[in-house]
Amino acid sequence: MAEYCSLNTRYGIPDQVRFKEGPSGMAVVEIASPSAEATIALQGAQLIGWDLRGEESVIWLSPAARFAPGKSIRGGVPVCWPWFGSHATEPSFPAHGFARTSSWGVTAAQQLPDGSTRLTFRLIQSEQTRALWPYPSDLELHITVGAVLEMDLITRNTGVQPIVIGNALHTYIEVSDVRDIAILGLDGCSYIDKVRGGERKRQAGPVIIAAEVDRIYLASTGDCVIEDPGLKRRILISKRGSSSTVVWNPWIDKAERLGDLGEDGYLRMVCVESANAADDVVTVAPGDEHHLWVRYQVEALG
C-alpha cells in the first residue's frame, strides 16, 4: 500500500489519475478524462484498456489474460523493444525484446488544456536488461488519454556508437467479428508472410481475415483504417517514425495453442501494429533519439 500512496502523492490527480492494485496484485494506474477511461499496467507500461465513454471498448484485453511478474499480458498494447520478433543472433533471448515484461517507472502526469491526460513512463534498467541489451540508451513512453489515444515511444542513444533497434506498439483492437472487418491503407504494399515461411507477397485491396494472418508490411508509412460494420465504426491509426505495419490474428489452431485468448477470443481481436521490423529497423545515432508516435481515433461508420 505504501507504494501506491507514494505514487498517488507524487503523480495522482484527483478524480483523474489513481494508482492502485490491479489484477493478481499487479500495479496499475487508472485514468479518467471527460471523454475516456484507460488502465495502464506499470509492468511493461502496457495500456490494457481505452474506452470512450458510452462506446464499446477500443483496445481488446483477453478475458483469459494472465497477470504475472515477467510474463507478457495477452491484449492491450505491449511495447516491443529493442527488437521485434526473435532476436537476430540469440534465439534464447525473449521474443519482441524485454520492454513489455520489465518494470517501468512513472516520471510525470499532467492534465492537458483540452482535458486529456498524459502520463510519462521510463523503462527501469537492471543487470538483467543490460545483459540482453548492453548499449547505453534510455526508453520513454508518453501515453495521452482523451477523445483520441496517442502513444509516443522514445528511444534515446546515450552512448558514443550508433545503435540499431526494432520496435512496435503491438496494439490489440477490439472488433465485432474479425471475419467481417476490412483493414484499409495497405493496398500495394509488399509484405513478409510469416504464416507461409517468410514468402514475399504484395497486398491487393483491403486486408480481409479468414484464416491465420501474420504479416509484416514493409515501407508502409501511411494511415491504416479498420472498418467494422458490426460495431458501426472505423478506427483510424495514424503514425510517424514507423516504416512497417504488422497485421496479426492467430485464428483457431494457434489460439488454442496459445491458451490465453479465451473462448473464440480470436474472433474479437485483430492486431494492427505500428512498427519498425525486418527490413525497416532503425539506426539511432549517438546523442540522437527516435520517436515511434501513433494516434488512434474512432469515427462512426455511416
Q: What is the pLDDT of residues 177-233, one digit of tens each?
A: 999 999 999 999 999 999 999 999 999 999 999 999 999 999 999 999 999 999 999
C-alpha to C-alpha distance for 200 and 192, rounded to whole angstroms: 5
pLDDT of residue 256: 96
25-32's contacts with Cβ under 8 Å and 24+ in sequence apart are: 25/67, 26/67, 27/3, 29/106, 29/119, 31/117, 31/119, 31/145
Q: What is the pLDDT of residues 59-90, one digit of tens each?
A: 999 999 999 999 999 999 999 999 999 999 99
C-alpha to C-alpha distance for 253 and 27, rounded to whole angstroms: 33
| Parallel/antiparallel/unpaired status of strands 163-165 and 36-41 | unpaired
**147 forms bridges with which residues in the sheet?**
none
CATH number of domain containing 247: 2.70.98.10
pLDDT of residue 2: 67
Q: What is the pLDDT of residues 105-131, one digit of tens each?
A: 999 999 999 999 999 999 999 999 999
Q: What is the mean pLDDT of residues 88-103?
A: 96
Annotation marks residue 289 as catalytic:
no
Which domain covers residue 71, as residue numbers? 2-300
Structure-model confidence comparison of residues 1 and 175, the more confident one: 175
Q: Is residue 1 pLDDT above 80, yes or no?
A: no
Model confidence, pTM: 0.97
Show the cell assigned to 219: 515501407
Show the cell assigned to 11: 503523480
Candidate list 96, 142, 174, 273, residue with the active-site label: 273
Candidate list 170, 212, 227, 291, residue with the active-site label: 170
C-alpha to C-alpha distance for 133 and 166, rounded to whole angstroms: 12
pLDDT of residue 3: 82
Q: What is the pLDDT of residues 278-302, one digit of tens each?
A: 999 999 999 999 999 999 999 999 7
C-alpha to C-alpha distance for 295 and 100, rounded to whole angstroms: 20
Altogether, the residues listed in the chain come to a count of: 302
- pLDDT interval class at 260 (50, 70, 90): very high
Q: Is residue 44 pLDDT above 90, yes or no?
A: yes
Residue 264: burial class (beta carbons within 10 Å; 0-12, 13-18, 19+): exposed
Annotation marks residue 256 as catalytic:
no
Residue 271: burial class (beta carbons within 10 Å; 0-12, 13-18, 19+): buried
In the chain, pLDDT over 70 holds for what percent of residues?
A: 99
Q: What is the dihedral of CA 255, 261, 262, 263, to 10 degrees?
A: -30
Number of domains composing the chain: 1
| Residues whose CB falls within 8 Å of the CB of residue 227, separated by 6 or more in sequence, listed in order | 181, 182, 183, 184, 206, 234, 301
